[in-house]
Structure 1
Amino acid sequence: MKAVLALALAVTAGLGPTDFPLQRLLKDPDAARTFDYWRLRERRGPEAIPPLRTLSYAAMGLKENVPETRCFTDAETEVQAGLKGVESAISSMQWREDRDAAAGAVRRLDQALAALMAGHSSGDVALDRAIQPFLNRARTDKTARGRELALRVAKDQAIRRAYGNQALLGPLSPLAARLTNQRIAVRACRIDADNVAWIKREVRSRGWFEISRYGREAEKDAWLLAQHADGDVTFQTEILTRLDALQTKGETDPKNYAYLYDRVATNTGRPQRYGTQGGCRDGRRFTFPLEDSAKVDQLRAEVGLTTLAEYNARFTCRD
């Protein structure tokens, strides 16, 4: 890390404090959003930008190309979007147009999601249909705990359905879409962090959302929040132990246990058991390493999952 930072300092030695006032930008979201990042690569070329990103990550107390241990602040988000934007852009005009388009898309998204959570249409019929069951439970569940849980899952699902959603964001160029997704990712990070803190308190003080007491939908909602707690694998492992005991009593869906088992395995660098975790490569879905590929379909059937081939066929991969 010291060598990389030293190289970055050497490459950027010609920049004065007024050229790239990094410390000020990292404290002021408005200044970070309106700063003229293009001048950082003007006459220097796009190769001038990666060292600046390295410096910015160091100033943020994070390591570049390593999973973040916390969510970005608004100012940090704008600095990273600005640097990545000018590195990819082919002209000052294109960068400014795409920067402004991304900012507009995020404003529309925030307005749409606020309307949705208030009981109105987001402007996307498919999104409204997907989120409405959670919002209904947030109003009608028989327990305050269940209502809060449903509302949190509504936010979790809504932000994840925002990526690439033209009905909410409008048509965007590839660069504007990337800049928009950066900001969506920060919003998702904050929602996840808040949800994890909440469900951790709930489960540790009041126990799991057992099916017999809260119903299958609430139990699945609670599992979903744990499934998305990738930044806290210790907590995911704690929930996995709970679900292992509860599935023999019929208090959790065995599929929930299977998905979380694989999530924890993948997050800790171990082979998964049920093949639920994977990615896309060359336009095709692939499965992360398995404990036993010969028995995976048998193991999946035991918890009520379809074959691995059928499961992977459900995914649409885009290069």
Structure 2
Amino acid sequence: MLEHLRDSLLALQQKDLSVRDELEADGSLFDGYHPRMAAVHRENARELRKVMDEFGWPHEGLVGKEGAEAAWLVLQHSIGEPDCMRRGRDLLAVEVAAGRVPEWQFAYLDDRIRVFEGRPQRFGTQMEITPDGPVVCEVEEPAQLEQRRQQAGLSPLTQRLKDMRSAPRPSPAEYQARKSAEAAWRIEVGWIPVSDC
């Protein structure tokens, strides 16, 4: 195991979680994509790119379980860096096939990328809170969804939705404003090509 690399990944994760905790404490975390959080995610993505350039995906055999999960969290939060997330997804797919990464990590990442790209997700990990409560973002081949979730090591979707029922719901106006801002952001950072709009 490369302990220096593991420690670097854990430090990136800690920086992400610390800023998140600060913004959650002052109530500003969920007012759009906070500039401080976006800056941390960009910086962390830059560091993770260097790791991927040198080592490929930092799996458990390379950086231990905690280091590998830290790398996944950094990648999952690199939402303003589409190319980084797509590259990480490709590397994760290889590691899942080799048995070095749990499939649930790939499932969350692949679903997040697909939803940002405006495509149906495959594992039902991406949800949103609407004025009517939690809903699952569009899913490809919904009849096979629970089978895919089970294979990836995910809990049944009904349980996940039940866990989210108590989340505060936005007003219709708040929801529409959030969706409009999200659509503009997806174009701005490159998830959706301008030609597709």
Bin of the TM-score, shorter chain as denominator length:
0.7 to 0.9
CA distance in 1, matches of 2:48, 2:18: 18
| Amino acid of the structure 1 residue aligned with 2:122 | R
Indicate the residue corresponding to 1:275 in structure 2: 124
Q: Is there any run of 5+ residues in structure 1 with no aligned partner, and where? A: 1-140, 170-176
TM-score (norm 1): 0.49
Give the structure 2 partner of residue 261 of structure 1.
110
AA of the residue aligned to 1:161 = D
Residue deviations 1:140-187, cap 9 Å, x none? x9611111110110121222233443xxx4xxxxxxx55x86698121
Report 1:5-84 matches (<5 A). none
Q: Computing the radius of gyration over CA atoms, which structure comes out larger, 1 or 2?
A: 1
- TM-score scaled by structure 2? 0.78
Determine if the alignment matches structure 1 residue 243 to structure 2 residue 103: no
Q: Any conservation in 2 of the 1:211–1:250 contact (CA below 8 Å)? A: no
SS of 1:295's partner is helix
**What's the counterpart of residue 285 of structure 1?**
134
Instruction: Evaluate the alpha carbon distance shift between residue 304 and residue 163 of structure 1 in structure 2; reply closer, same or farther with a 3 A threshold.
Output: same
1:283 CA displacement? 5.3
Which residue, 58, 61, 66 being the options, matches 1:217?
66
CA RMSD of aligned residues (A): 2.2
**Aligned 8 A contact 1:159 1:184 in 2:** no
- Residues in 2 aligned to 1:194 and 1:269: alpha-carbon distance in whole angstroms: 25
1:1-319 to structure 2, matched below 5 A, reads 143-165=3-25, 169=26, 177=27, 185-282=34-131, 284-315=133-164, 316-319=166-169
Counterparts of 1:183 and 1:302, CA distance in 2? 34
Report the number of matched residues: 168
Work out whether residues 236 and 264 of structure 1, in 8 Å CA contact, stay in contact via their aligned partners in 2.
yes
Q: Structure 1 counterpart of 2:153, which letter?
A: G
Q: Distance in 2 between matches of 1:311 and 1:159?
A: 26
Percent identity between matched residues is: 23
Aligned partner of residue 34 in structure 2, secondary structure? helix
Contact 1:283 1:318 in 2 (8 A): no
TM superposition shift of 1:248: 2.0
Give unmatched runs, 5+ long, in structure 2: 170-197
Equivalent residue of 2:58, what SS? coil
Alignment partners' CA distance in 2, 1:312 and 1:273:
16
In the alignment, the residues of structure 1 paired with residue 126 and residue 139 of structure 2 have an alpha-carbon distance, to the nearest angstrom, of: 10
Q: Report how far residue 220 of structure 1 moved.
A: 1.3
Indicate how the Cα distance of structure 1 residues 181 and 223 shifts in structure 2: closer, same or farther if over 3 A, else same: closer
| 2:128 counterpart SS class | strand
How big is the shift at 1:310? 0.8
Letter of the 1:317 counterpart = A
